[in-house]
A = this chain, B = another copy of it.
Amino acid sequence: MDSRKNTEMEILRAAKKIFIQHGYAGARMQAIADEAKINKAMLHYYYRSKDALFEKIMDGAVDLMSKQLLNALSGDASVMEKVEKMVSNYTDTIIKNPYIPIFILNEIARNQMNFQNKLQQKLEQNNVFQNFLLQVLEEQQKGILRPISVPHFMITIMSLIVFPHIAKPVFLKIFEMTDTAYMHMMEERKQLVMDFLGKSLVL
């Protein structure tokens, strides 16, 4: 029983690694099996198909990211306090799980409808996200936040959080940085992004 769990987890770890490197279409079941040090037929025994395996990992990513989002945005804090929590949570989560942005973007390209449905589903499980959007509007009406359309508001925040991770190899090269220095900069960025947003979004 314990051994089964270990085998399942090992397959997931290996699959995640290979899918990250090669994308869904480029990932080979044999390569995943090799990485997990198992026989390829076992992939099908445990996860039935390549697609099922990928979906499992994808579900994990969407789950984790939406949880972080909803966790940050729920409760009675002010909008900017929630945004700060969101910046911090997302940055930490991505640093610990660097595969996630890449996965999500590949999935967007590969199977847009599927991803959209997954995401929508997660956001609709409760009213947290909708309430947050309404709260943004409310604080704009109260003169706390600048009257920027809500999509612009959210897109700006997400841009600043996520893109630096996605484009990491580009920036590593352009600025001739080490991986360590870049990750250090991502930590700094938590504060920097809040500073930026404070100046840009708050009246």
Contacts and interface: CB of A to CB of B under 8 A. Distances in A.
Contacts of A172: 116
Interface residues of A, number: 53
A22 B159 contact: no
Q: Report whether over half of chain A's contact residues are helix, strand or loop; otherwise say mixed.
A: helix
A106 B105 CA distance: 9
Contacts of A24: 26
Interface of A: 20-26, 102, 104-106, 108-110, 112, 115-116, 119-120, 123, 129, 148-152, 154-156, 158-160, 162-164, 166-167, 169-175, 177, 185, 188-189, 192, 195-196, 199-200
Which A-B residue pairs are the 9 nearest by beta carbons? A25-B26, A159-B163, A25-B25, A163-B163, A196-B200, A116-B173, A159-B159, A199-B200, A199-B199
